[in-house]
Structure 1
Amino acid sequence: MVEKVRIDKYLWAIRLFKTRTLATEACKAGRVKKDGTNIKASYEVKVGDVLQVSKNIEKKLIKVTALLANRVDAKKAVLHYMDITPVEDTIKFKSMFRMPVLERDRGTGRPTKKDRREIDDLQDNFFMDEDDD
């Protein structure tokens, strides 16, 4: 059983980052925090630590449940941390990429001008805030 692991190695081992170098760079850039303060790549993780990890536009809040020194497959990696990101943040992130999928029946041909206007209106209304109505 591993007793202490560097944060960059841990984040790489649980597959939050593709390479250890990317995990190290994230620490240096201040995208990995503990209790709101940036932590260095050499910080040693302990079981029970709660970490805030920003990756691109996604923000995760994870709790360390077990230490892991070497990279393992995804099914085993999930057992070594708990994702405690609030549901609202997860929904907000996923909804940014949500776009209505418009399907037309096969063989109906190209949309008419009227169809095109209806499609455009549907898409415009999708991106409007509730306050804009």
Structure 2
Amino acid sequence: MAQKQEEDDKVRLDKWLWAARFYKTRALAKTAIESGKVHCRGERCKPSKEPRLGDELQIRVGLEERTVEVKGLSVVRRGAPEAQLLYAETEQSIAKRESMAAMRKSGAMGIISDGKPTKKQRRQLHQFQDSGAAQ
């Protein structure tokens, strides 16, 4: 029993992010950490970092950025209700995330491309470029 508790005290950051359901796989969590999308106590970290209770993590997933405090450690991925007990999101993070979502919904953050432009959009681009070249 004591050995099991020691193992839960020593958990890799990538495994914790996976167990807390921020990323679908450990490989995605590892890639996110290595690319600088996860910061521990304001600094970049490695996937092998061992988070401790009370640590503050900044996690960026897609367009959302969360600041969470580590409340529990686990090496096992369980259901979402149990995973949410492993962390607590800060009030500032919740407010910022909701305001950014509202801005995206209203279209205030600009146009986000869905891929290739349509034929109509291409015509408009060509018209715009031709009018700029003539001046």
Query: Please, what TM-score do these two structures have when normalized by structure 1?
Result: 0.70
Counterpart-to-counterpart distance in 2, 1:60 and 1:22:
17
Matched, 1:81 2:87: yes
CA distance in 1, matches of 2:78, 2:24: 12
* 2:12 alignment partner in structure 1: 6
Q: Percent identity?
A: 34
- Kindly report the root-mean-square deviation, in angstroms, between the aligned alpha carbons of the 2 structures: 1.8
Unaligned runs of 5+ in 2: 109-135
Query: Which residue of the other structure, out of 103, 106, 122, is the alignment partner of 1:96?
Result: 103
In structure 1, distance between residues paired with 2:15 and 2:36: 16
Q: SS of the residue aligned with 2:60?
A: strand
- Counterpart residue number, 2:33: 27
Which portions of structure 1, spanning 4 or more consecutive aligned residues, are displaced by more than 3 angstroms? none
Q: 1:41 and 1:82 mapped to 2: Cα distance? A: 21
CA contact (8 A) 1:48 1:63 kept: yes
Q: Identify the residue that residue 57 of structure 2 maps to in structure 1.
A: 51
Tell me how far apart the structure 2 counterparts of residues 91 and 66 of structure 1 sit (CA, whole Å). 25
Amino acid at match of 1:98: K
In terms of fraction of residues, the more helix-rich structure is 2
1:77 maps to a residue whose letter is A
Separation in 2, partners of 1:31, 1:4: 22
How many residue pairs get aligned? The number is 102
Q: Which runs of 5+ in 1 are unaligned?
A: 100-125, 128-133
Deviation of 1:94 after TM superposition, in Å, equals 1.5
- CA shift, 1:90, in A, is 1.7
C-alpha contact (below 8 Å) 1:62/1:82 kept by paired residues: yes
- How has the CA–CA distance of structure 1 residues 85 and 6 changed in structure 2, closer, same or farther, with 3 Å as cutoff? farther
